[in-house]
Amino acid sequence: MIQRTVAYALVSGIAAFTCGATALANPQIEAGYTADIFVNGGGGIHDGVRVADLFEVIASKSWQAFGQEEGITFNLYAVHANGGAPTGDLFGDDQTVSGIETGFETTRVNEAWVQLAGARASFRAGLTQLNSEFDVLESANFFVNASHGMGLDIAQSGENGPIEFPFTGLAVRGDYAFTDNTKVRVILADAVPGDLDDPRRVAIGFDDEDGFLVVAEFERSGDWGKLLAGYWQYSEEFEAIGSPGLVDDGNAGGYVRGEVVVPTGGASGDLTIFGRLGLADGEFNKYDHYISGGLVRSGFWNARPDDAAGIAFTYGGVGDPAKRADDTLEDGELNIELSYAAQIAPRISLQPNIQYIINPAADSTIDDALALGVRLGVDLSF
């Protein structure tokens, strides 16, 4: 059924195009390079230096259709990652100090989808990643730690995580805007993206035995900021933690997150405060609750109006089933990040960051770790 739905969406897009859709300007092409360099300042699992990098290219083409300027859109997103693993090799944490870490070298198509959009609703089908639209806050994405992108409660779920970099997958997504500021979106996605036996292999397709992941999200936004509320659930049964052979359904969770723009009293720049609370079923997931928050201040220095600074934390709380199954587990893992982003040239930025990890992986055998990092960002768009 899912395969037929995806195929229908692709055929519908092509049909609309061939029936008179008007092409807009040349395809839009964006490209960028990001490198995260980390030194272990103490603790963790190994001393040393690691570099994780990512080269990205996004090409999109739109056509006028359905009375909309961008009624039909095709999007292609390709990446190359060097496979550097600061978390895997140095720190041993679960929340991952770098959001671009893969642990293996890969070149792959991350997204390839078609979208049909009307005045209020849109429909998208193809290869995609969940965090491109769901569980996203711009202020939280300022930070380098991966857990500020998608929360740990959902990121840990499933046999190979949800459809997310580097394991994206097939999905169909619909959204509807009740007003300019109030929206809902729902996605039905492959529940087991990638290849469990060979992570370097790009595996695209649905397996009836894998089932699917459904995520629904409500969004309310305005000049004051943004509020998100989401719910996710897997269709298939999972083995319960600490109970080999016992399988059950109900692997699900939910989250609420938001950001608020705080008036700065006439001072230049913005101050944004954000937070997130997520829950997951502890019967199937190591962490059954997740909390994060922080603040970002931009434009505070007149001499460098494009710079920004922030401080944030993330905490994953271990569920009782996981602690009963493994007596080396602590109550949770806490990450505190201090970050400063400087635009050193029109297309180049540097972002020094310090992350202190308390109880990496909630493992009592791993010492607290100090991660000293810097992110290099280069805009290669043309």
Residue appearing with tokens 């459904």: 214
What's the pLDDT at 18? 40
How high is the mean pLDDT of the chain?
91
Residue appearing with tokens 């496979």: 83
Ordered structural domains, the chain, with CATH = 2-379 (2.40.160.180)
Contacts 24+ apart (CB under 8 A), 205-214: 205/170, 206/2, 206/3, 206/170, 209/236, 210/159, 210/236, 211/235, 211/236, 212/2, 212/188, 213/157, 213/158, 213/162, 213/163, 213/188, 213/189, 214/186, 214/187, 214/188, 214/189
Q: Over the range 333-357, which residues count as b (16 or more CB within 10 Å of their CB) and which as e?
A: bbbbbebebebeeeeebebebebbb
What's the pLDDT at 2? 41
Main-chain phi, psi angles of 190, to 5 degrees: -55, 130
Strand partners, 197: none
53-103 pLDDT tens trace: 999 999 999 998 888 888 999 999 999 999 999 999 999 999 999 999 999
End-to-end, the C-alpha distance of the chain in Å comes to 40
Q: Is the peptide bond before 166 cis (omega within 30 degrees of 0)?
A: yes
d(CA 335, CA 152): 12
pTM of the model: 0.90
Residue appearing with tokens 């840990």: 156
Is residue 6 predicted with pLDDT exceeding 50? no
Q: Is the dihedral of CA 142, 189, 73, 61 positive or negative?
A: positive
229-276 pLDDT tens trace: 999 999 999 999 988 888 899 999 999 999 999 988 666 778 999 999
